[in-house]
Amino acid sequence: MRTGLIGPCVLLGLCVMAGDGYAGLPDIRTAIGDVPEGTVGLGAALRRGTNPYRGVDNISGLLNDNKADLIPLYLYEGKWLFAHGTSAGVHLVKYDWLKLDLLARYRFNRLESDAKPYFNGLQDREQTVDMGFSGTVYGGWGSLSTTWANDILGIHNGFEWDFTYSYAWKPGRWSFSPFISYVYQDSDLTDYYYSVDASEVLADRPSYEPGSAVFWRAGINTSYQATAHLLLFSNIASQHVDSEIFNSPLVDESQLTSATFGFAYLFGNARDDLTRGPGPNSPGQWSWRLNSGYQAEGPFTRTLTGRLKRSEDVHAYMGGLTLGKLISDGRYIDYWGRISLNRRFENGNQSDFGEYNAYVMAMTAAHSPWTSEEWLRFGIGFGFSYASQVPFVEQVKQAKRERNTSRFLNYLEGQFDVPLRLMSDNRAVRNCYVGISLLHRSGIFAKSDILGSVSGGSDMVTGHLECKR
């Protein structure tokens, strides 16, 4: 029985994953696990590879011309919480020789019925989020890990269990980690993605019901520490297709290969002491901000240069609270980690709803040449946005262009403000600012499968009050 995708990004909104399941191919793990706790990173990766489905060249299983898939990476390594690309979770046990995690990971498997004429009449096979447990033992001989993960969104209702051996070799700035995995997928998982139900049977597409599948995959994860903060990485792998899957009328590949290339920029005290932590003269490590504003015409680059026109399609509004933590205060640029909780007021077009954003803000300030007093601040933020409903303006704009929408999108923010102490000597506002924030949801030009391959988005212009403590 097939069901529609109910927004796997409910869970991804906590921390999107970049790596652990991907069209049945190996993990694209981003190696940031050996950095200090609290390290935050951003990056991107391109993945290419073969698709198991008959005649489908696109790795995403979609009807488009993308030969590669862009994955935005949001990375975090904390004492208990982590986000390593397309996997995120909680460290339950964390020692030098043993790690036990509760994790969630994105499953990229997907097939659209219009990907090829052969699949017309099929129900779409959707992506989902799997959740489970992972355990790893480390030694001089390498590492041995096992991961059990089960569908939590009711898409395929199955589970996958893999056992992986890996050996890490680190000459200088390089790291090489060849691995080999033994993978078991239960019959519910294989049935959802590779069966042909009675209602889907055609003369050249007979009924088929696969059983559980087991197979081997092998590959190598490589990374290069280009600078103290810039990490380049690649992942190359191949896997055998079990006969239970290969015998499906929907499949024509007996061997799957993949290649992923990406980068990550790590903020804060990532690999050394080149970046200072919060100094003694910092006003505070935390901030709060109140926003209120209206739907703008966009695009983001236009609003950023001062064209703050209201949307011609939809009149809507928003209000929100943003909480921030200083990651590092550099000589010229400060980096803040931020989470915003917004309420979208849809002005009767549909019910109001919540929007949740997590991002890193790079903030710089201009000072008086005579007194060194701070005159103004400017910041650019990058992260991800999850809306409990698709904003109505995005529905309208995408319908005009006959393009799809997504609750989960990339997020950009521009902020410009001035300190209130320039206007008042009141101690209560000494570390407060007033200004304008520009908020933008984006699908990155339909190049990213994990963002729903959306080309489009929406903009908000808001006024704000922010205080640091």
**Per-residue pLDDT, 12:** 30
How far is the C-alpha of 152 from the C-alpha of 150, rounded, in Å? 6
Q: Are strands 353-367 and 286-296 parallel, antiparallel or unpaired?
A: unpaired
pLDDT 10s digits, 401-439: 778 888 889 899 999 999 998 888 888 888 999 999 999
User: Distance of alpha carbon 420 from its chain centroid, rounded?
Assistant: 36
Q: 144 pairs with which residues across the strands? A: 137, 165
- CA-to-CA separations, 355 to 312, 391, 409, in angstroms, rounded: 22, 9, 11
What phi and psi values does residue 449 have, to the nearest 5 degrees? -65, -40
- Decide if 297 contacts 310 (C-beta within 8 A): yes
Question: E strand or H helix at 395, and its extent?
Answer: helix 392-400
Q: Is the confidence at residue 272, as pLDDT, over 50? A: no
Q: What is the mean pLDDT of the chain?
A: 84
User: Could you tell me which of 4, 459, 32 has the C-alpha nearest to residue 262?
Assistant: 32
3-state secondary structure (DSSP) of residue 226: coil
Domain extents for the chain? Answer: 9-266, 286-468
Q: Of the ranges 40-44, 237-241, 326-330, which is most confident?
A: 237-241
pLDDT 10s digits, 242-270: 999 999 999 999 999 988 898 988 876 54
- CATH code given to domain 286-468: 2.40.160.20
pLDDT 10s digits, 334-348: 889 899 999 999 999
pLDDT band at 26 (very low <50, low <70, confident <90, very high): very low
- CATH code given to domain 9-266: 2.40.160.40
Tell me, yes or no, if the two domains 9-266 and 286-468 fold the same way. Answer: yes
> For residue 305, what is the DSSP state?
T
pLDDT band at 291 (very low <50, low <70, confident <90, very high): very high
- CA-to-CA separations, 15 to 181, 261, 400, in angstroms, rounded: 26, 21, 32
pLDDT band at 280 (very low <50, low <70, confident <90, very high): very low
**Per-residue pLDDT, 273:** 40
**Per-residue pLDDT, 411:** 92
**Per-residue pLDDT, 65:** 64
